[in-house]
Structure 1
Amino acid sequence: MRTTPAALGAATLVLALAACGAPSEQAADSSGEGNVLRVGVSPVPHGDILSFIDENLAEEAGLELEIEEISDYNIPNTALVEGELDANYFQHRSFLDEWVANGPDAELTYVTDVHIERLGLYSETVESIGDLPEGAEIAVPNDPANLARALGILEAQDLVTIDPEAGASATEDDITDNPRDITVTPLEAAQLPRSITDVDAAVVNGNYAIETNLPEESNVLAWEPEGEDYVEDYANGLVALAENADDERVQLLAELLHDERVLEYVQESWKGVVLAVDGEGDIVESGAEGEGGDQE
């Protein structure tokens, strides 16, 4: 089952799922409706990956999925805490840690890594980093976890220098050297693809880049660097309430997410932009490397 609202509001989600019962009531048995696992996802690529599992693996494994596509990053964790979902799959650990630190008192568990959506520096007006003009305006995601990540791309390309003490909390105010007088403009992540016509370049999250065909229609000036803790920090994964993390349905989905057929599907569908992560926490294949964004 796949539900596909373009942007599911919290009130709509409550009404749609109110009759489903609390997560504990869902775990009744392995054969009836009690085995339905309600998972909130970003539409792309998360929703596509779960739909692939639903259509090709879930029935044989004895798992029934109810997939709720949610475009707003602010909703899935709240819906999970309030019992409207059994799990969600849209975020990396850094985002989850930031949300837990500033959200309600709740224990959420990151169950397993699934994939990495590479941030890319895209432009419709220039073809390489060297072509960026003096005083160029570059748009970046404004959520704390991805803002620091985006600044890391600019620093790796020698466009700016970031105060090392800022770490994962770096913002545009932590730029200590800006030799080309770059203007860094934070915007809501979902707005970045549309902003690309108004700025010289934009750092765009992989899911939003895919949804708007940026890798095919725009110039990829650079991909984010893959540091030592790249998977640990930025792999998107399956998340559940701590009390339900060992639920058989959640663990079964975690296993299916690392099935070889799923890994192959991810590799073939979004070469270079989405990197599959196996059950050991290793990147399966890195398709696009370095400046210019060459994709295989």
Structure 2
Amino acid sequence: MKRKSILSILLTGALAISLVGCGGKKTDDNTGSASEDKTITIGVTPVPHKEIVEQIVPDLEAKGYTVKIVEFTDYVTPNTALEEGELDANYFQTIAYLDETNEGKGLHLTYTKGVHLEPLAVYSTKIKDIKNLADGATIAVPNDPSNEARALRVLESAGVIKLKDGELVTPKDITENTKNLKFEELEAAQLPRVLEEVDLAVINGNYALEAGLSPAKDAVFVEDSTSEASKKYHNVIAIKEGNEGSQKIKDLTEALTSETVKKYIQEKYSDGSVVPTF
């Protein structure tokens, strides 16, 4: 696929919000000078990331920016688009996922600040208490390394399994499985769709929200969002390495970690499904 094709295809069906600001001549340096490009193109997944970014558009417009929000429905393409320069930033992923993607795919991405945490939760349509999980039950987990390891650690903290020490653990690293549980490894976006077909599913916060699931109301077990280990699961503003000095990245980061955003998250997600981390 040619370099510019990813974004051009996605923009066909994506939400793109364009606010007319003062344009300037684009420059390749990151000095934040007056001639710097005044368009910010940011990739997001729908919920809650797109909703949160929409809250800061007026503030960025007031600074003369045109903001384009490009919606993605997967975890792979927004990082490819960022690496290839088709996005200025993306906001959908955890620190752990970003680190794993850089290492696994040879990307050159970093982040400015964390914005929020979505506690990972375990859902079921068959049981109300995870302690009642039947022998031989089937559990669906994300299949990407960082989210799968996180999901398995959540199940371990719930007392369902025991695991070896290590970062990117998989079902092969289970050391105790007294109920002979079976694991289905699926793309994270698919997990809400198979909830009726399995006994448990460990679902990422954004996909749970899209499916109308609330950790507080619907989950049979929820990750401890206050633990030290949870810090690597903060959702961050990702950028290409070398762009840290860009004025528009500084302005974007300031806007996404503002009191406006904190208040919005706390009011919109008062059930704790999304927690501000700044």
Provide TM-score, normalisation by structure 1. Answer: 0.81
Counterpart residue number, 1:84: 86
> Judging changes above 3 Å, is the alpha-carbon distance between structure 1 residues 216 and 275 closer, same or farther for their aligned structure 2 residues?
closer
Q: Which residue number corresponds to residue 272 of structure 1? A: 272
Amino acid at match of 2:28: S
What amino acid maps onto 1:101 in structure 2? E
Alignment partner, residue 50 of structure 1: 53
Any gaps of 5 or more consecutive residues in structure 1? 1-9, 279-296
Task: Give the corresponding residue for 1:150.
Answer: 151
**Structure 1 residue aligned with 2:138:** 137
- Of 86, 101, 108, which aligns to 1:99? 101
- 8 Å Cα contact 2:111-2:238 kept in structure 1: yes
Q: 1:161 and 1:81, CA in 2 relative to 1: closer, same or farther beyond 3 A?
A: same
Aligned pairs, number: 261
Give 3-state SS (helix, strand or coil) of 2:135's partner.
Answer: coil
Distance in 2 separating the partners of 1:181 and 1:172? 12
Distance 2:117 2:247 in 1: 25
1:193-237 Cα offsets, whole Å, 9 max, x none, are 011000011000000000010228973101113321312x10011
Contact 1:140–1:186 (CA<8 Å) still a contact in 2?
Answer: yes
Pair 1:230-2:224 in alignment: no
Counterpart of 1:213 in structure 2 is: 212
- Give the Cα separation in 2 of the matches to 1:30 and 1:70: 31
Q: Which 5+ residue runs of structure 2 have no aligned equivalent? A: 12-24
Equivalent position of 2:62 in the other structure: 60
1:24 matched to 2:36: no
Amino acid at match of 2:5: A
Query: Is contact 1:23–1:86 with CA below 8 Å preserved after alignment?
Result: no
Aligned residue for 1:78, secondary structure, equals helix
CA distance in 2, matches of 1:150, 1:157: 11
Q: CA deviation at 1:269?
A: 1.5
Partner of 2:110: 109
1:290 maps to none
Give yes or no for contact 1:123–1:218 (8 Å, CA) kept in 2. no
Structure with higher RCO (Cα < 8 A, 6+ apart): 2
CA distance in 2, matches of 1:30, 1:68: 25
CA shift digits 1:63-99 (9 cap, x unpaired): 3311101112111111111111111111111111111
2 CA distance for matches of 1:69 and 1:273? 21
Paired with 1:120 and 1:172, the residues of 2 have a C-alpha distance of 18
Amino acid at match of 1:110: Y
Contact 1:116 1:235 in 2 (8 A): yes
- Rounded to whole Å, the distance in 2 between the matches of 1:190 and 1:23 is 37
For 2:115 and 2:66, the matched residues in 1 are separated by 19
Matching residue's letter, 1:127: K
Q: Residue in 1 aligned with 2:5?
A: 11
Code of the residue aligned with 1:149 in structure 2: it is R
Deviations 1:121-152, CA, capped at 9 Å, x for gaps = 01111111122212111111111000010001
Superposition CA RMSD, Å: 2.6
CA contact (8 A) 1:43 1:71 kept: yes
Q: Which amino acid aligns with 1:115?
A: H
Scaled by the length of structure 2, the TM-score of the pair is: 0.86
Q: Which runs of 4+ in 1 moved over 6 A?
A: 25-29
SS at match of 2:197: coil
Counterpart of 1:41 in structure 2 is 44
Distance 2:133 2:236 in 1: 35
